[in-house]
Structure formats: C-alpha cells, structure tokens
Amino acid sequence: MLALLGIAVAVVMPPGGTTGTLPLDTITLPAGFAIDVYAGNVTGARSMTLSPNGTLFVGSRGPGNVYAIPDRDGDGRADAVITVASGLNSPNGVAFRNGSLYVAEIGRILRYDNIEADLENPPEAVVVSDAFPGDASHGWKFIAFGPDGKLYVPVGVPCNVCDPDDERFGTILRMNPDGTDLEVYARGIRNTVGFDWDPETGDLWFTDNGRDWLGDNIPPDELNRAPEAGMHFGFPYCHGRSIADPEFGEGQSCANFTPPEQELGPHVAALGMRFYDGEQFPEEWTSRSRTTGRSWSRTTGRMPSTG
C-alpha cells in the first residue's frame, strides 16, 4: 500500500530570516510531523538533489538559475544560497553523481564536474546531450539516476493532448552518464515531473499529470509503475484505467495499455514523489512513496486520498 502525502505550498525565506506572515500553520501534516524554513532567496525553486557532502542543489524554471545551498556546520540550517549557474533555459532538473552536478534544460543535459571544490567559482558546463526537443510546453524536466546507473530524463508532450510524430515526446528516456546509448524506457506518458525507484524491488514509479478541458472530474492523474522497459501507459488514447480519450481514443482499447497503480484524482498535478528509506519517520511511513501536488485547472481544489 502506498501512502500519499499532499502538500499545498512550498516555503522559501532568506537565510536567518523569520517566517513572518507565511502561513506555515495552514499546511496539513500527519500527526508528529513539523515543517520549518530551511533556506530562502531561492527564486523559482523547483527540483532538488543532495550531494553526499550535504550540499543541496536546486533547479528553477523562470529565473534560469541553479543554486547551491550548503550546510557546512550540519545544524540543519542553510549557511548560504549560491547561484552556481544562470541564464539557462528552464533548468528545472538536477541530479548529482560522482562529484558532478547534472542539470536538465529544456533541450539539453549539462554537467558541472567537481562542482563542490569551489561553489563560488563553479566550473564551465559540459554538454552531455542536446538530443531533446526544444518545445517549452511540458519541456521542463525532472531527472534522476536509476539503480542501473543510467540517467532518466522525461520528455513531456508539447500540447494539452496530441499524438506527436516525434517519438521522443510522451516518454521517459534513459542514457549513460556520458550521454551515450539514449533510449526510450517507457511511453504513453503525458507529463511526468516526479519519479523514484522502490528501494526494495528496484521498480520505477512515476506520476503523470493528465490532460485538461474534459471538466472538473476527469481524467485522473496517475501513479504508475514501470518495472521493465517497453511499457506503454496509454496517453493520448486512454486516461486512468478505462477512460478513452474523446479525440484520440477511437478504435483503441484501454486494456491494451498498462493501467496506473493508483488514480490520484483529476487535476491533482503531482509535482514530485519519493520513496522514504530513512530512519527518522515512524515505522508506518518507512519505504512508502510521497507525492506533492498543485492544480491550476480545477474549479474546486482536491487533494489525493490516502490509501
């Protein structure tokens, strides 16, 4: 069973500042949990990755910046917010491996080698791959390294709903850390901006944000599982477990595609997920996934249920 945690807002504040009027007390948390400000002045903060040395790297969309946030004394508070890259094209995705920071722009993957040697004077970027479409719609990327050592990179569709000729769209791709052997891992995915691997089975789990303009109550967003390469998850032909698309579903059977493990509800807009395998949470939270969501296109807000 998966435990789903919906979080309504993200909080950023200047280092050393106070929460002021930020409504931290309006964020619903499970019993025994608390929320606090870690760092601020992180304009446009989106995806995050943590180095083994404890440096938090943060990507952004609009500002085009990538930030490094060290906690040098280990007190659980950011010591600084350092812009290590700027002027990039929606550098949403960040991942860290073997001393190098990987950054995903819309159309390419960059690498900053040995970046923690001097955060104030970061190295020049190395272009790992520029083999991705340049379309801005759903073009920002979440990236992560899988247990197979490959870098996984999603490519969202450039539309609300369509069937693009370019087979890179609507996929999760993977490649070697040096950019070689780029291949499709999964298809039929409208726009995933969060995925992780089950620490027990190694299976890839990912969220998918469904299409708009079919009303408030359909289709559901999805939580999917892809234990092997080559699976197709239905988009644009089918949504959820059994909803045929009114434009592209004619002549298609939803039974021919992999259904979601869980329907998250319509317009939940999950923006991230993680399996927790640490030791601080209560036992009932161990090795379960967490998702966060935010919707723009639903008249009445709705968060995913727990189940």
Tokens of 23: 């409504």
The answer to whether residues 97 and 141 belong to one domain is no
The answer to whether residues 154 and 292 belong to one domain is yes
The β-bridge partners of 152 are 144, 174
The answer to whether residues 201 and 278 belong to one domain is yes
Residue 246 inside a domain? The answer is yes
CB 64 within 8 A of CB 87: yes
pLDDT of residue 116: 98
Total domain count for the chain?
Answer: 2
Least confident range of 52-66, 131-145, 161-175, 286-300: 286-300
Q: Give CA–CA dist 278/40, Å, rounded.
A: 25
pLDDT of residue 1: 30
pLDDT of residue 216: 81
pLDDT tens digits, 190-210: 999 999 999 999 999 999 999
CB 69 within 8 A of CB 42: yes
- The residue behind tokens 């001097």 is 118
pLDDT tens digits, 110-125: 999 999 999 999 999 9
Residue 258's domain is classified under what CATH number?
2.120.10.30
How large is the C-alpha radius of gyration of the chain? 19
pLDDT of residue 291: 55
Residue 70's domain is classified under what CATH number?
2.40.10.500
Least confident range of 4-8, 81-85, 90-94, 260-264: 4-8
Per-residue pLDDT for 13 more than 50? no
The answer to whether residues 197 and 296 belong to one domain is yes
Residue 226 inside a domain? The answer is yes
Q: What is the mean pLDDT of residues 264-270?
A: 88
Res. 171 pLDDT band, cuts 50 70 90: very high
The answer to whether residues 265 and 163 belong to one domain is yes
CB 171 within 8 A of CB 155: yes
The answer to whether residues 111 and 157 belong to one domain is no
Cα 218 → chain centroid: 22
Q: What is the mean pLDDT of residues 23-35?
A: 85
Which of 188, 111, 108, 178 lies closest to 150 in space, CA to CA? 178
Last residue of a domain, one of 89, 104, 130: 130
- The residue behind tokens 């019993």 is 31
The answer to whether residues 67 and 153 belong to one domain is no
Per-residue pLDDT for 303 more than 50? no
Residue 109 inside a domain? The answer is yes
Last residue of a domain, one of 82, 103, 130: 130
- Give burial (CB, 10 Å; 0-12/13-18/19+) of 228: exposed
Residue 18 inside a domain? The answer is no
Q: What is the mean pLDDT of residues 129-154?
A: 96
Residue 53 inside a domain? The answer is yes
CB 236 within 8 A of CB 162: yes
The answer to whether residues 160 and 290 belong to one domain is yes
Res. 272 pLDDT band, cuts 50 70 90: confident
Q: Give CA–CA dist 245/276, Å, rounded.
A: 35
The answer to whether residues 87 and 164 belong to one domain is no
Residue 256 inside a domain? The answer is yes
**What percent of the chain clears pLDDT 70, i.e. is strictly above it?**
86
Q: pLDDT higher for 272 or 175? A: 175
Tokens of 250: 């004619």
In single-letter form, the type of residue at position 30 comes to: P
The answer to whether residues 137 and 121 belong to one domain is no
- The residue behind tokens 């969220």 is 207
The answer to whether residues 139 and 284 belong to one domain is yes
**What percent of the chain clears pLDDT 90, i.e. is strictly above it?**
67
CB 56 within 8 A of CB 50: yes
pLDDT of residue 123: 98
In single-letter form, the type of residue at position 92 comes to: N
CB 96 within 8 A of CB 49: yes
Last residue of a domain, one of 106, 130, 154: 130
Q: What is the mean pLDDT of residues 72-92?
A: 94
Per-residue pLDDT for 239 more than 90? yes
Q: pLDDT higher for 2 or 180? A: 180
Residue 97 inside a domain? The answer is yes
What is the span of the domain harbouring residue 49? 39-130
Tokens of 253: 């059977």
pLDDT of residue 292: 53
Residue 214 inside a domain? The answer is yes
Res. 217 pLDDT band, cuts 50 70 90: confident
The answer to whether residues 166 and 240 belong to one domain is yes
